[in-house]
Amino acid sequence: MEIVYPIVYKGKSIGTIKAGFFTSSVHAFVNQVMTLYLGVLGSTILVTLLIARSFLRHTTRPIVTLTRIADEISVGNLDMDILFGKRVNCWEIKQCGRKDCAAYTNTAVQCWFVDGTPCEGYEPKFPQKLEGCRKCEVYKTHKGDEIVQLADSFQHMIYIIKSSQVELEKFHKFQSNMIQNSLVGIIAMNEVGVVNIFNRVAESLTGYREPEVVDRLTLNDFFSEDIAVKIQRPLIYDYGIVLRGFKPAETDILNKDKEPIPVRLSGINLYEKEDHLGKVFFFQDLREIKRLRQELIQSERLSATGQAVASISHAIKNILDGLFGGVYIYKRGTRINNEKDTQKGWRMIEKNIGLISELVINLLNYAKERKPIFQKCDPRGIVEDVIETMENKARNNNINMASEYEGDFDNVYLDPQALHQCLINLVSNAIDASPVGRQGHVVVRLESKNGQGIIIEVSDNGMGMSKEVYDNIFQGMVSTKGSTGTGLGLLVVKKIVEEHGGTIVVKSEENKGSSFKIRLPKMPTNDPHVRVSDTP
Amino acid sequence: MGSLEREDIRRRAVVIDDEEDLTTYLSAILEENGFSVRTANNAEDGERLIREDTPDLICLDLLMPGKTGINLFLRLRRREEPLKDVPLIIITGIKEQINVDWKDIVSRCKARVPDGFIEKPVTPQRLMRVVNDVLKGECRDRVQFG
């Protein structure tokens, strides 16, 4: 390569200088420099790559992994093994043998995250215990950088979430169990009235199955309009106070066939602070309770019957004496040809046969649960029948019997057998109460109240009752009749009146007389339990 | 039925029970067996009969309305009562009455125990057996049961 430079003197080019060097040496120099430059660059890049790779391995990848793990956790997958750093088993290092410790053989989480480890001198709970744990040989063995610590924290978090989940599941199961196995029907609805809880009792009472109801049916599918309004009232402001629930009330729930089922219903509104979350209704099948109530009354009656066995057997013994006596005297009469004795004996036999029949019938009536069978009948005929039956007894006791009728008896429905039994018992008692020293009267009065039922009244002018007797006549086996009385007759009357849904009122005055007034309502027309017979 | 009567004197009995049929029955049995019998259907009348003419035998039902039977028994058998030694048989329909701790009643009420018991329903054989044993007086310390 040549460089030509002109020489200029006083503005005139006077010549040129030529300098030259060989390009090959320049080329060689430049090549050298280029090579060096490239080498340095390459090394730098290589080193950088190596550093970057190392960084990637220690930092970015773990973070990516942790991010992926976090994503998994967020979708509910908690079963991942996060191992960053060296796994340490504290029980192997410490050789403590403390099997009671929660960290013993616990590979799910490192021991410094576990609360209540009995290692000496450390705070029991995380994170307070961490400061102490860091001094521990176990921790130091594990020892990791910040990324490892972050991973450890993740592991701890997952451990806590899992434990909470287990607790939550247990609680949920328990609650679900409680709701399903409750003896009470439970229906819960959200704030818009859609059912979200429907337990087994609710299923069996309504006939719906849970899947048919939850998230599908609402309050109006279970309650008629007027009832729905009533039970939703608590939501309405009342004098500025929102009522949270309502007391148990007897009402109806509609079953699958839209039939009303009688239940005892109570309910509450659920609130979270001021937000209305929904309603819960609790109900009991009243049909069952009504049946149990009847059974209880029946069993009380039976147990009273059992208790009364002594009293009844006493009455029976007296009746037997009357029969034996009658036979003895009758036989004596025939033996010595004494007609007075034979008649006397025979009367005794007849009388006591009557007494035992009465006792047995009353006992059976009392012990047996019997629903009235309503028939169209004229009660006046029954009254006349009873008077005729009791004629002998009345005559023997010097009693005058009479009957009185008032009203229209063409359209009367009642249970004739029940009425007959009531009258027999009341009239028999009235005769037994016959006064001493004056003419006795027993009056049976019937009154028909325009098809609204009938009134039956049996009154006498006999001994009457003392206050003590009066207070106890329907309580149990109370009798003023000494040995033969059992008090059963009146208990039967009370039972029959109750079965008819009627009432009985007793008035009495000592030495003046008594009256028993029974009101029988007209036959209920819409009661499905009422039996009506067409045959007279 | 054996008759223990002497020809000229019939023994006298008083039967007290609120059940008329029973007094009729017992009366018939006792009459067949040589007694002359007076009956009463309440304690008041019975006591009157006993006091106006002391009988040789009293048959008494304890279970009469109110506590009249029991009270009459206690009155007739108390220590100061001259009639306490008249043989007395209790007519009873309830077995428990027989098992009552009479010794306790005697000590508390200071009354003589009954001489005998006859349990209902009554049969002529049983009644007369008790009556005869009581009147024999052989076992006055022991109560006769029938």
In three-state secondary structure terms, A270 is strand
Question: Cβ separation of A482 and B124 shorter than 8 Å?
Answer: no
What pLDDT score was predicted for residue A371?
77
ipTM of the shown complex: 0.81
Q: Can you state the percent helix, strand and coil of chain A, rounding each to 5?
A: 50, 20, 30
Q: Which residue has the tokens 């007034």?
A: A517
Residue in chain B lying closest to A328 (CA):
B25
Q: What is the pLDDT of residues A486-512, one digit of tens each?
A: 677 888 898 889 888 889 999 999 888
Contact A332, B28 (CB under 8 A): yes
Nearest CA to CA, how far is B28 from chain A (Å)? 7
Chain A residues touching B94 at Cβ < 8 A: 310, 314
Closest CA to B144 of B44, B57, B81, B42: B57
**pLDDT of residue A25 exceeding 70:** yes
> How far is the CA of A378 from the CAs of A311, A330, A372, A412, A418, in angstroms?
36, 41, 16, 7, 13
Chain B residues touching A398 at Cβ < 8 A: none
What pLDDT score was predicted for residue A99?
84
Q: What is the pLDDT of residues A177-208, one digit of tens each?
A: 888 888 889 999 988 889 999 999 999 999 99
Residue in chain A lying closest to B68 (CA):
A482
**pLDDT of residue A35 exceeding 70:** yes
Q: What is the pLDDT of residues A141-169, one digit of tens each?
A: 776 777 777 777 777 788 788 888 888 99
Check residues A136 and A211 and name the one with the higher pLDDT: A211
In three-state secondary structure terms, A248 is strand
Alpha-carbon gap, residue B60 to B18, rounded angstroms: 10
Check residues A247 and A45 and name the one with the higher pLDDT: A45
Question: Cβ separation of B21 and A351 shorter than 8 Å?
Answer: yes
The answer for residues whose C-beta is within 8 angstroms of residue A105's C-beta and 6 or more apart is: A89, A91
Nearest CA to CA, how far is B144 from chain A (Å)? 21
Q: What is the pLDDT of residues B60-85, one digit of tens each?
A: 998 777 678 888 988 898 888 889 89
- How many other C-beta atoms lie within 10 A of the C-beta of residue A202? 27
What pLDDT score was predicted for residue B146?
60
Of A243-247, A335-339, A469-473, A492-496, least confident by mean pLDDT is A243-247
Interface test with chain B among A311, A320, A324, A327, by most B beta carbons within 10 Å: A324
**pLDDT of residue A82 exceeding 70:** no
Please report, for chain A, how many H helices and E strands are present, in that order: 17, 15
Question: Cβ separation of B21 and A344 shorter than 8 Å?
Answer: no
From the options 3.30.565.10, 3.40.50.1220, 3.40.605.10, 3.30.920.30, give the CATH code of A370-536.
3.30.565.10
Q: Which long-range contacts (CB under 8 A, 24 or more apart) does A189-198 make?
A: A189/A218, A189/A219, A189/A278, A189/A279, A189/A280, A189/A281, A190/A277, A190/A278, A191/A275, A191/A276, A191/A277, A191/A278, A192/A218, A193/A218, A193/A219, A193/A220, A193/A279, A194/A218, A195/A219, A196/A278, A197/A280
pTM above 0.95, yes or no: no
DSSP assignment of B1-13, as one string? ------SS--EEE
Q: What is the pLDDT of residues A219-255, one digit of tens each?
A: 889 998 888 877 776 544 444 444 566 667 888 899 9
Tokens describing residue A183: 């003896």
Check residues A244 and A440 and name the one with the higher pLDDT: A440
Contact A305, A363 (CB under 8 A): yes
Domains annotated for chain B, with CATH where assigned, are 11-140 (3.40.50.2300)
What pLDDT score was predicted for residue A468?
77
Rounded to 10 degrees, the C-alpha dihedral B52/B54/B57/B58 comes to 40
Residue in chain A lying closest to B65 (CA):
A482
Interface test with chain A among B1, B20, B25, by most A beta carbons within 10 Å: B25
Burial (CB count <10 Å: 0-12, 13-18, 19+), residue A3: exposed
Question: Cβ separation of A329 and B64 shorter than 8 Å?
Answer: no
Q: Give alpha helix (H) positions in A285-338.
A: 286-307, 309-335
Chain A residues touching B120 at Cβ < 8 A: 317-318, 320-321
Mean pLDDT calculated for residue range A3-7: 89
Closest CA to A82 of A163, A148, A161, A165: A148
Mean pLDDT calculated for residue range A270-282: 82
Alpha-carbon gap, residue B144 to B131, rounded angstroms: 9
In three-state secondary structure terms, A112 is helix
What pLDDT score was predicted for residue A305?
62
Alpha-carbon gap, residue B64 to B17, rounded angstroms: 7
**pLDDT of residue A331 exceeding 90:** yes
A314, A321, A351: residue with CB nearest B25: A321
Residues of chain B with pLDDT under 70: 1-8, 66, 94-102, 105-106, 138-146
Question: Cβ separation of B28 and A325 shorter than 8 Å?
Answer: yes
Alpha-carbon gap, residue A391 to B3, rounded angstroms: 41
Contact A490, A474 (CB under 8 A): yes
- The amino acid at residue A409 is F
Average pLDDT over chain A reads 83
**pLDDT of residue A458 exceeding 80:** yes
What pLDDT score was predicted for residue A238?
43
Check residues A324 and A287 and name the one with the higher pLDDT: A324
Nearest CA to CA, how far is B23 from chain A (Å)? 9
Task: Write the CATH number of the domain with boundaries A182-290.
Answer: 3.30.450.20
Nearest CA to CA, how far is A309 from chain B (Å)? 11
B61, B93, B124: residue with CB nearest A328: B124
What pLDDT score was predicted for residue A236?
46
Question: Cβ separation of A318 and B120 shorter than 8 Å?
Answer: yes
Nearest CA to CA, how far is A203 from chain B (Å)? 57
- How many other C-beta atoms lie within 10 A of the C-beta of residue A188? 21
Chain A interface, Cβ < 8 Å to B:
310, 313-314, 317-318, 320-322, 324-326, 328-329, 332, 344, 348, 351-352, 480-484
Contact A330, A345 (CB under 8 A): yes
Alpha-carbon gap, residue A510 to A497, rounded angstroms: 25
Check residues A47 and A234 and name the one with the higher pLDDT: A47
Q: Which residue has the tokens 């067996």?
A: B33
What is the number of CB-based contacts under 8 A between chain A and chain B? Answer: 70
Chain A residues touching B63 at Cβ < 8 A: 314, 482-483
Mean pLDDT calculated for residue range A443-457: 86
